[in-house]
Amino acid sequence: MTKIAFLIAGMMIGILLSTFAFPGLAENKTLDPAKLDPNMYKVILENKKLRAIDYHLKAGEQEPMHSHPCGVFVYFFTDASVASTLPDGKSSESHNRAGDVVWRDPVTHFAKNVGSDGVHSLLVEPKSPCND
């Protein structure tokens, strides 16, 4: 066997062994923001019907890519200027005032606080599917 054949065979065996050694690795990848960054997204209530999340995003801070079901975004505490980017690269900015309440359809995105102050809001996400 040539050196290149040994190299290829060794790589294939390594890939095969790692697949069996870490079977749940791919399953642990999640787009749940509370699992990706619990400092930004703190679950404050969860039951069979809904999940409520205390959300903080410092000025200039950016979240990792994550997903939300439909839900209500409540800007109780602060104004918010946020740039949101979808997986396809499309982006938009939203500007909300403290006290605004916004319905949000399911979304996968990442967001960046483009304002000069931190964002502190409440998200309420139902556990059942959103129906039109």
Q: What is the pLDDT of residues 58-73, one digit of tens each?
A: 999 999 999 999 999 9
CATH tag, 33-126:
2.60.120.10
Q: Which residues of 101-114 are buried (b: 16+ CB within 10 A; e: fewer)?
A: eeeeeeeebbbbbe
pLDDT in tens, the chain (132 residues): 565 544 344 444 444 333 333 333 333 358 999 999 999 999 999 999 999 999 999 999 999 999 999 999 999 899 999 999 999 999 999 999 999 999 999 999 999 999 999 999 999 999 888 875
